[in-house]
Amino acid sequence: MDVIEGRGPSPALVLAYAQRLPDTSLTVALASGGRDHFGWGQDRLLLADLFDAINTNTRATGNWAKGKTPKFPEYPRPKSKPEATGSDKQKKPVSVADIYRKFQRR
């Protein structure tokens, strides 16, 4: 209630705190696509890419019999949010008046 009445922290301060969250935080994970992304920072993504690169290099440079090249599985990663394409129907932006009307209905 304090925030609604204007006694809470300033929006600029809240935004500054939100932007300073570590990339492994739950808030950043939910913004990235869901709880599957929790703990997946830049370091973990880089290590997963390194794992795949080593497997690809091993497959490419190995002395395998013809047609016997092994298939290495990729490192499991969290699923990303589906990208919205131009053909998808875009949602109408919500105005402050719409939000106010939703609060008035009871």
pLDDT at 51: 95
pLDDT at 66: 84
pTM of this prediction? 0.60
Asked if residue 51 belongs to a domain, the reply is yes
End-to-end CA distance of the chain: 18
Domain that holds residue 31: 1-40
Domain count, the chain: 2
In percent, the amount of the chain with pLDDT more than 70 equals 85
For residues 36 and 61, membership in a common domain is answered with: no
For residues 35 and 2, membership in a common domain is answered with: yes
Assign 102 to helix, strand or coil: helix
Q: What is the pLDDT of residues 63-99, one digit of tens each?
A: 888 888 888 899 998 887 666 555 556 778 888 888 7
∠ CA 33-39-45, nearest 5°, is 80
Asked if residue 105 belongs to a domain, the reply is no
Asked if residue 73 belongs to a domain, the reply is yes
Q: What is the pLDDT of residues 10-55, one digit of tens each?
A: 888 888 888 899 989 988 888 888 888 899 999 999 999 999 999 9
